[in-house]
Amino acid sequence: MSLTNIAIDHIRPVKRFHSEGDGARTFLCNHYTNLQPLLHEDNHWKSDLWSVGDEAHWHAHILLHDEHTQVYYPQAAPPQPSMLSDRS
């Protein structure tokens, strides 16, 4: 990863906040614990993938948890593109 090949990803997709009130949507959607760096290709691949299991994990382990440091990919998603391409 470098500054030229990453995007700032919303772990819980922005689209999943649309049913919530404006205040909660803005605060939680853009809270630093809901943001992570991803390679551009992985961010595009991830898109709006999200499940009930992802939601439960997000609430229990990611949202407002300063100690969470791992990149999170949706649970039911196929392998991300960066893991499939030959980077040698």
Task: Report residue 10: phi and psi, to 5°.
Answer: -85, 120
Q: What is the pLDDT along the chain (88 residues), one digit of tens a residue?
A: 888 999 999 999 998 887 766 767 778 999 999 999 999 998 888 888 899 999 999 999 999 999 999 999 998 777 777 877 655 4
Single-letter amino acid code for the residue at 72: Y
- pLDDT computed for residue 21 by the predictor: 66
Distance CA 35, CA 32 (A): 5
- The model carries a pTM of 0.83
Encode 1-20: b = buried (16+ Cβ within 10 Å), e = exposed.
Answer: eeeeeeeebbbbbeebbeee
- pLDDT computed for residue 88 by the predictor: 47
